[in-house]
A and B are shown apart, each in its own frame.
Chain A
């Protein structure tokens, strides 16, 4: 009797631990999908796609349901996706390579939304030239795209990271930190960047428009989920490009959408439009397709993976820069072809461009 009870308890505990440990373990065709996004100029449309009912419209068309969830903390959203809580998530090319792909989660770039064209920048207090950064203490979110931009900037003037001191500073505290006298150099992104740039004696000495196309904002989805459920990819791409055509126009519908997005990101229409101006949005799917097929993307990803490897964040088993393989359109690859975990696949954007969704 007692032993039986014990067995029952043990098996129940086992079942609970399985449930706890393996979310998203099932690969069977499914009907319900969840994607996540966080606050950023280029990702605000995801929130409006959900709120305006566009997502429901497109999901209904394919007989599925897609829930778009906003996560307050950017890194947390990627971690949740990597842990299997979401089927897709908006993130940059660099974070996709280091977090899910480096962590063995096969990830596909479904919708290449935009690239930063001035949205990320370096601000110095009282110095007008980038060269003035030498010997300074630089506050930034370490190992982020800011860090990447800093390394690219230093490289462009023949300096290296050892010529400065990097202090990890949370993005939430960046503006307050900049206000203190001992902070004289920061690297950050919009909307913080424009706030900091506007402070007295502050000069933006470098920004991402000097390295165009390198910081890319993408809707990444789980490769396996996408392969098993192509309708999921079609519904997302359909909804996204319908939103793009609405918000890119200056008619009342477009203004309304952008005003809603501005409000959701804590600014007004003018503020949001100015952030859009430093973002190279791919409003037309054909633009995104040709960007994805451009050999320049391979050069960019090569920079990015070298940066990640140099900083030791390409995953624990990464003994060389080639550890994680990246696939590009046309069968081109970088790194280990036996371990491809990041795929740039324009298929769904092409369907959108051809009007086949």
Chain B
């Protein structure tokens, strides 16, 4: 049988998927053991046990300085910034994306502006944000919005523009107004697209969240990583990176699963990932 026609059974698939993870862990552990054999206090490649201990300590033992559980404090701070930023971006995507995709006059005014705006590298706006909005939460959330909203708006606008013209014509022959078309025809079909836009927006959102927290903060996942970088605490940095990855993965899967549950009709055409 040709290679392209050989299917993978589910258990074999799981096993194959595990290979790269296991390989990287083995490579890490052997490299770490070699360095630790030479210098038991080496900070560069701490052992898995040591990282586990540190992570556990940050999650369960109150910090000497502030008396708080750092992991949860950081996670809560970062997630609320991420939530506010991506939430506002999603709202903007709906409020602007739908009219841009549907109404030619709005499109004429806004589409090239948004396209141009989306080309500004958000990080370069950060110094301006600091001066305009101060160093507080506003600038951090604003950076996430500037970084994610334009792309999400464009994604929604494109999805609306791609709705089959027949459907719009049919709604009109049934006597629907523009407003009714938005509510009854466009929005129901756009929800799954909005979920996709949020999922894709989360990737840059994390980047901007961490960058903003690195510059001026008192808490947050990115803050912690850049703080402990000062004394090369890889036993904090590596688990934090894994933790961020895990949260990002869970957020993404949750969005996908809820989309599958809520909008089954949008996931009919085979595999979705």
Contacts and interface: CB of A to CB of B under 8 A. Distances in A.
Interface of A: 13-14, 17-18, 20-22, 25, 75, 78-79, 82-83, 98-99, 102-105, 139, 141-144, 161, 165-170, 173, 176-177, 179-183, 310-313, 315-317
A180 B128 CA distance: 10
A173 B230 contact: no
A312 B216 contact: no
Of A20, A102, A180, A313, the most chain B CB neighbours within 10 A belong to: A180
Minimum-distance CB pairs A-B, first 7 = A104-B41, A21-B31, A103-B43, A182-B134, A169-B216, A104-B39, A98-B231
B7 interface: no
Contact of A168 (B54, B130, B136, B226): B226
Of A165, A177, A181, A317, the most chain B CB neighbours within 10 A belong to: A177
Interface string B17-39: 00000000001001110110011
29 contacts: A17-B27, A17-B31, A18-B31, A22-B34, A25-B38, A78-B232, A79-B232, A82-B44, A103-B41, A103-B43, A103-B232, A104-B40, A104-B41, A143-B231, A161-B65, A165-B218, A168-B223, A173-B216, A176-B127, A177-B130, A180-B134, A182-B134, A183-B135, A310-B64, A311-B65, A313-B231, A316-B50, A316-B235, A317-B41
Interface string B40-52: 1111111000100
B214 interface: yes
A179 to B, nearest CB: 6
Of B27, B31, B54, B231, the most chain A CB neighbours within 10 A belong to: B231
B233 interface: yes
Of A13, A79, A312, A316, the most chain B CB neighbours within 10 A belong to: A316
B34 A21 contact: yes
B267 interface: no
Interface of B: 27, 30-32, 34-35, 38-46, 50, 54, 63-65, 127, 130-131, 134-136, 214-218, 223, 226-227, 229-233, 235
B240 to A, nearest CB: 14
B28 to A, nearest CB: 9
A104 B35 CA distance: 11
A128 B123 CA distance: 36
A180 B227 contact: no
Given A75-B229, A170-B214, A177 B135 contact: yes
B231 A20 contact: no
B43 A168 contact: no
Contacts of B40: 104
A161 B67 CA distance: 13
Contacts of B38: 22, 25
A143 B64 CA distance: 14
A79 B136 CA distance: 30
A167 B35 contact: no
Given A167-B216, A181-B134, A17 B30 contact: yes
Contacts of B30: 14, 17
Of A21, A25, A169, A179, the most chain B CB neighbours within 10 A belong to: A21
B217 A168 contact: yes
Contact of A176 (B31, B34, B65, B130): B130
Contact of B31 (A20, A83, A105, A316): A20
A18 B216 contact: no
B215 to A, nearest CB: 5
A179 B131 contact: yes
B19 to A, nearest CB: 14
B27 A82 contact: no
Contacts of A20: 31
Contact of B135 (A79, A83, A142, A167): A167
A179 B131 CA distance: 7
B248 to A, nearest CB: 23
Contacts of B54: 316
B130 A173 contact: yes
A144 B135 contact: no
Contacts of B45: 21
Nearest to B39: A104
Contacts of B235: 316
